[in-house]
Structure formats: structure tokens, C-alpha cells
Amino acid sequence: MKPFLLIVAGLGLLGPANSQTLYSSSFEATQGFVSGPLNNGSVAQNGWQVVGAGGASTGSIVSGNASNGTQAVLVDSNSVLSDSYWYKNLNSASAGKIVHLTWDQKVMAPSGAPSLTNSSQFGVLAFDSAGEMLTGMLYDNFDALTYYWNFAGQQWSPFASSVPRSQYAGFGIYVNYVSGKATFEINGVKQPETSFREGTSTTFGDADIHVRFAATDSAYFDNLTVEKYSPGIIRGHVNLLEYTGLVNRPCVLELRNPGGTTPIASLGFTPDSAGNFEVATTLRGTYDLAVKGKTHLRKVNQSVVVTDEGVFGQIWTLGNGDVNNDNVVDLTDYTYLVVNFNKLNTDPSWTVVDGANVAPIDSDLNGDGVVDLSDYTTLVTAFNAVGQP
């Protein structure tokens, strides 16, 4: 059986209450990583190991070119054709039935014109505890496309969207043993779902940094996160239109009977800076999922099936301008904005609510800390808009 291997990974997602972080690293000096080989056979930083065929590629901790922070892992082919894998052992028995692998990856442009014989592949392959490959994602530096293992076609298939070279992108895989499927993400956007390639055990085993070199290529990796999840998790993404604040504001997700407007359950959440969120529910069955933001209009996704393996990839795009949170942009919202015009987030009354539970901060529709012409324009543009009931 192969050891439990961890991807050089990330996305910078915060672990919600319904998840447990198995490993997380941004490869910083504060975490015990120093400049030099991640592992060269005799030196193993923080337990990281390497195996490879053909041998001379290297993985090193370097300063600069980090997705965030000051350090990252540089993987370099050193002009030698080889396959290499970097990993850190974990206890596979602790991994659970649903594992989320995430990482940030920046692939540099190849030396010379890319060709079928002069390109590299970088990515992650996931295995079960018996050493059988389940799924994976590989970035091909020949065509700048990311490929996934397509169970239906028994082949590597490309995602439709390309990822530019020489800049970081966030990648992720949900390995779901409850459904026997893998769900992929690129920059937080769900990609096609597929069944596992194969697998004989019912326990997640390992995920390898897989680097297949054929040229003078290199890539940077940062922000490794490996988490396990409890079943019954609704995972989604909220686009809060015209809102650019660094910290998103609270939203509410309602589960309703299909076609109904009465909530069976109301679950509060605050999306992360990318708009992603996760909430847990004990409900199972088919429901309408309605999301309402504090100053954003309600949007309903209809007839969503909630099962033990949870819900993946739901997206809500919410219109802005509802200052008083009554699901319509009207004269009341306009009046609030005019009264609060030119107020700053340093004003002592900024978060003080009135009898209708409305505060000056609610007139700051774009979240930049001031009520100004930009907020006025957002409201006027959306005037008379009504959210779904």
C-alpha cells in the first residue's frame, strides 16, 4: 500500500465547523520550513518525502512567488525527463468518507515553444488505502488546460476553461466515498463530476503531487489544505453583486418544500472572501434552497436533492440595493441611503440599528466603508427590483 501523500495544495479556504483539518500548510518559516530542499533523500522538512523515476527533478522551499505569505514550494525539472511525487505521511484511517483536497498552483511557461514532447504535467492524483487510483487533476503545459480522469470515457479529459500560465490558480477535489464520485474545482467554480476510476477499499488513502517532466519546466505550489467532512453538508457559492468589501456580510439559506415559501429550516452563514460557504443540515430529500443577503435580494434554486453526501456546486447570484432587507428595492431604501449619505465606517453610529433593524452600514452597498455616489448608483440602477418570494 502506498503511504498517505499530501498534495502541495491550498485555495485558502477556512475550515468550517462541520469539517476537520487533517493537514494545512503555507510553507512559511513560522511553520518550520526553511529555504532549501523539501526533501532530497537525506533532508526531510516536516516529514515530507519524495519518490520518483528518472530522478533529478527537485522540490524546494523558496522565498518569493508565494500565493500569499513569503514562501512557496518550487518544483523544477532540471532538464531531466522524470516523474516525481512529493508527499507527507498521514494516518489514512482518520481521513473519513468525504475528503476535500485544495491547493494553489502556478505553472511557469515552458522553455521554448510547447510541444507534445516538450511539455510538463503538474497536479494531484488521489488513491484509496489499497493504493488504487481514484481520480486526479493534471495541468498540461502543452495546451494550458487542466485534465481530469473521466470514468465514463476511461481517459483524461480537459475542462472547458483554460488556466493562464505564470499566475496562481486554486484547484480542489472532493473525494466522496458516500457517492463514489469526485467533484472538481478550479478557482472555486465546480467542474464536471465523475465516478471513481477504480478502487478496492472504502477508505481514502493518499493524494500525490504528481509532476511529469519532459522539458525545462517549473511550477510553484502553495497553501495545502486537506480536510474531512461530515455528511449532509450544503456547499455553495454566492455572487453578491456590486459588493467588493473585504469581509462579506451575513446571509440566510432557507430550505423549503418545492414551490413553497415557508422555510422548513433557516441556516445563517457568512461566505468567505471568494463567496464560498458551507452549512450542515439533518434534512434529507428534495427542497427549494433560497438565499437572501443582508442588502441583497433573494434567489431560489429549485428542487435540489439533499442526501447524506450533501450538496455540491450550487450558485446564487444576488442583486444589490435592499438597504432595509425587505426583499425589494424601493423608496424606503432610497430614503435610508440619502439620510446616511457621506457617512464613514468611523462614525460612532455606523453599526447602530434603528427600530427596523437597519444601520448606516446597510447603506454602504459596496462595502468600501463609506456611503457615497457608488452606493447611490447601485440603488438607483436596481430601483423597483424585487427578489424571489
Tell me the C-alpha distance between 123 and 246, whole Å: 30
Tell me, what amino acid is at 103?
W
The residue whose grid cell reads 518559516 is: 29
What are 306's strand-pairing partners? 285
What's the predicted TM-score (pTM) here?
Answer: 0.60
Predicted confidence at residue 116, as pLDDT, reads: 63
CB 351 within 8 A of CB 359: yes
User: Would you tell me the crossing angle of helices 331-339 and 373-382 to the nearest 10 degrees?
Assistant: 170
Say which DSSP state 44 is in.
B
Q: Is the pLDDT of residue 346 over 70?
A: yes
Select from 229, 258, 287 the last residue of a domain. Answer: 229
Stretch 113-118: mean pLDDT: 64
- CA–CA separation, 156 and 212 (whole Å): 15
Q: Are residues 290 and 262 in the same domain?
A: yes
If asked whether residues 360 and 295 sit together in one domain, one would say: no
92 with 195, same domain? yes
Closest CA to 93 of 128, 126, 124, 51: 128
Tell me the one-letter amino acid at 365. L
Between CA 86 and CA 105 the distance in angstroms is: 14
- Burial classification of residue 14, based on how many CB atoms lie within 10 Å of its CB (0-12 exposed, 13-18 middle, 19 or more buried): exposed
CA-wise closest residue to 276 among 46, 102, 24, 96: 102
Half-sphere exposure (CA, 13 Å, Cβ side) for 377? 7
Q: Which domain holds residue 337?
A: 331-382
The pLDDT of residue 38: 85
Same domain for 86 and 156?
A: yes
- Tell me: do 62 and 175 sit in the same domain: yes
- Reading the block at residue 385, the C-alpha cell is 427590483
Say how far apart CA 63 and CA 372 lie, in whole Å.
41
Q: List the one residue out of 279, 331, 269 whose CA is nearest residue 306.
A: 279
Q: What is the pLDDT of residues 299-316, one digit of tens each?
A: 999 999 998 767 888 999
Of 309, 306, 341, the residue nearest 323 (C-alpha): 341
Question: Tell me, what's the pLDDT at 171?
Answer: 93
Which one-letter DSSP state was computed for residue 298?
-
Q: Which of residues 179, 212, 229 is at a domain's end?
A: 229
Same domain, 65 and 116: yes
Res 17: pLDDT = 43
Q: Which of these three, 318, 348, 369, is where a domain ends? A: 318
The better pLDDT of the pair 284, 351 is held by 351
Task: Say yes or no: 258 and 360 in one domain.
Answer: no
- 291 and 186 in a common domain: no
Q: Which amino acid is at 109?
A: A
State whether 374 and 308 are in the same domain: no
291 and 359 both lie in a single domain: no
3-state secondary structure labels for all residues of 326-386: CCECCHHHHHHHHHCCCCECCCCCCCCCCCCCCCHHHHCCCCCCECCHHHHHHHHHHCCCE
Q: What share of the chain is helix, strand, coil (3-state, %, to 5)?
A: 10, 45, 45
The end-to-end CA distance of the chain, in Å, is 54
Phi-psi region of 5 (alpha: psi -120 to 50; beta: other; left: phi over 0): beta
Cell numbers for 136: 486526479
Residue 1 confidence class, pLDDT cut points 50, 70, 90: very low
pLDDT tens for 205-230 read 777 777 776 667 889 999 988 888 76
Identify whether the C-beta of residue 297 lies closer than 8 Å to the C-beta of residue 384: no
- Domain of 223, CATH number, reads 2.60.120.200
Domains of the chain: total? 3
pLDDT of residue 10: 31
Confidence of residue 105 (pLDDT cuts 50, 70, 90): very high
Tell me how far the alpha carbon of residue 339 is from its chain's centroid: 39
Q: Report which of 134, 112, 115 is spatially closest to residue 125, judged by C-alpha positions.
A: 134
Q: Are residues 24 and 123 in the same domain?
A: yes
Could you tell me the pLDDT band of residue 117, with boundaries at 50, 70 and 90? low
CA nearest neighbour of 233 among 177, 312, 317? 312
Give residue-wise pLDDT tens across range 230-262.
667 898 999 999 999 877 889 999 999 999 999
Model pLDDT for residues 39-67, shown as the tens digit of each residue: 765 667 888 888 775 556 788 999 999 99
6-15, 163-172, 215-224: lowest mean pLDDT where?
Answer: 6-15
Q: Are 273 and 367 in contact (CB under 8 A)?
A: no
